Structure 1
Amino acid sequence: MVDSSTVFVVDDDDSIRDLLASYLKKNGYNVIAANSGESFLQEFQEWRSAGEDESRVIVVLDIMMPGMDGFDVCRELRTFSKAPVIMLTAVSDEMDRIIGLEMGADDYLGKPFNPRELLARIKAIFRRSEQVAEPKTSGRYAVFNGFCLDKVTRELVSPDGEPVPLTGADYNLLMLFIRNQGKVLSRESIAEVTRKRNSAPMDRFIDVNVSRLRQCLGENARAPELIKTVRGQGYILTTEVEWVDKVPA
């Protein structure tokens, strides 16, 4: 396989970091390894400043690190980048996974893990990014309830004209709702598209992602108006969506 994509591997464990770097390089990825959150953030900023394509990058980020842990790094990264993040967690730490998703991580993988599974998840995230990058619509901007979403830059502007920070996962989920406006999306269908896995009966992660998106849209958690819960079925985007070529005045 030949791939121009870049994977940042951030882990203070030398053996794990070297193993993943070697494995991913053999599978055609450009790999940049960092042994701490601080060094990663510096290297990532330098990488961006060099004009690299941020739409083809993924960060594999360990949670348990000295100094800045994975949560701190993810929080800082989200202040200036939407790069997808796969967090490495202890198998039993479900709360760590939920916190990571709430902070903007796109996926998680419990340790110990098979490098092949990590590779599969990396490929899945790149596929999802490609699928939502160019929706089958006429017009560059999706306008709904006063919001304006630019499908080229992936930037969302509020009815007040203020930019709304979106992670890659937020954008993908919002685009999924927009492309299925007026249709009820089950948790299973959302999981299939956004996470490429079936949703377990008590899986809270889809609900967490929807909750995050509602917050981005300024929704009242107890009485959401845009993305409504359909009891026993899933979620639905109820507002009308219009695609236009120019930013509304």
Structure 2
Amino acid sequence: MHRILLIDDDEDLAAPLATYLQRFDLALDHAARPTLGLARLAEQRYDAVILDVMLPEMDGFEVCRRIRHDSDIPVLMLTARGDVTDRVVGLELGADDYLPKPFEPRELAARLQTILRRSRNGGSGDAQKPQKLDFEGLSIDLQRREVHREGELLELTGTEFELLVMLAREPGRVFTRDEILNKLRGREADLFTRAVDILVSRLRKKLEPLPLIKTLRNAGYTFAGVPRA
């Protein structure tokens, strides 16, 4: 069973949500204060975090920033409905997904399952497929979910890793923003394309100084890595 930590000061939300998520094999733990949530993350193992933006002590953005300083655990942020700024800031700080409040528990469960699937180590991939993607200056280990840039291990979130693999599997192919969004979500979704720009920008920065992701105006993105001989 996957363990999920909810950091939200809404005391009435945790109990019914925990009961609902049990049917999806998700065990929910609750921290009403950010400091308590961060302490639990440091002491215990969790598979994902649900993080509200509006919190006492410090806002969810600061909590996300602190989580990302020490961990690549999947983070799903709860934002104000229709507030694109919250979503953009959350993604820029390293959140893997967002969900506007109020939300349907079934959608929350679906999104948790998606980010958990993306972050799961190893997996039951086809044995015929290569387990590594090697390029000049970059090596992607698909089984260990590790990326080395010029010998240095990079710290990528689950979403960043999946985005890189998607592009690197087909060097030279142009992926539109909608294609990237739908593939990362695993389903059609009503999303803003600005999210892709943020994810690509974040990934590019981590890949520097290698110029591996190219932007084609009005078209999308393509991977420019040169396969290692």
TM range (shorter): 0.7 to 0.9
1:186 is matched with which residue?
Answer: 176
Q: 1:168 to 1:107 in 2, by over 3 A?
A: same
1:34-49 correspondence runs (5 A): 34-48=31-45
Displacement after TM superposition at 1:63 (Å): 0.9
SS of 1:78's equivalent in the other structure is helix
Displacement after TM superposition at 1:100 (Å): 0.4
Q: 1:128 to 1:97 in 2, by over 3 A?
A: same
Q: 1:209 to 1:152 in 2, by over 3 A?
A: same
Partner Cα distance (1:202, 1:26) in 2: 30
1:10 is matched with which residue?
Answer: 7
2:21 is matched with which residue?
Answer: 24
Partner Cα distance (1:242, 1:199) in 2: 36
Partner Cα distance (1:148, 1:61) in 2: 32
2:147 is matched with which residue?
Answer: 156
Partner Cα distance (2:48, 2:78) in 1: 13
User: Aligned partner of 1:229: which letter?
Assistant: T
Displacement after TM superposition at 1:97 (Å): 0.5
Q: 1:119 to 1:39 in 2, by over 3 A?
A: same
Q: Give ranges in structure 2 of 5+ residues lacking alignment.
A: none
CA contact (8 A) 1:133 1:151 kept: no
Using the TM superposition, name which of 84-93 and 196-205 deviates more: 196-205
Partner Cα distance (2:36, 2:12) in 1: 18
Say whether 1:230 aligns with 2:213.
no
2:130 is matched with which residue?
Answer: 138
Find 1:100's aligned residue among 90, 95, 106: 90
CA contact (8 A) 1:134 1:151 kept: no
Find 2:73's aligned residue among 63, 73, 83: 83
SS of 1:113's equivalent in the other structure is coil
Partner Cα distance (1:18, 1:241) in 2: 51
Q: Give ranges in structure 1 of 5+ residues lacking alignment.
A: 49-53, 244-249
CA contact (8 A) 2:121 2:143 kept: no
The number of equivalent residue pairs is 227
Q: 1:202 to 1:89 in 2, by over 3 A?
A: closer
Displacement after TM superposition at 1:229 (Å): 1.4
Displacement after TM superposition at 1:179 (Å): 1.7
Displacement after TM superposition at 1:235 (Å): 0.9
1:246 is matched with which residue?
Answer: none
CA contact (8 A) 1:187 1:199 kept: no
SS of 2:215's equivalent in the other structure is strand
Over the aligned positions, Cα root-mean-square deviation in angstroms equals 2.5
Partner Cα distance (1:74, 1:202) in 2: 21
Displacement after TM superposition at 1:5 (Å): 1.4
Partner Cα distance (2:122, 2:92) in 1: 21
Question: CA offsets, 1:111-148, max 9 Å, x none?
Answer: 11111111111122233345985665334x43223122
SS of 2:29's equivalent in the other structure is strand
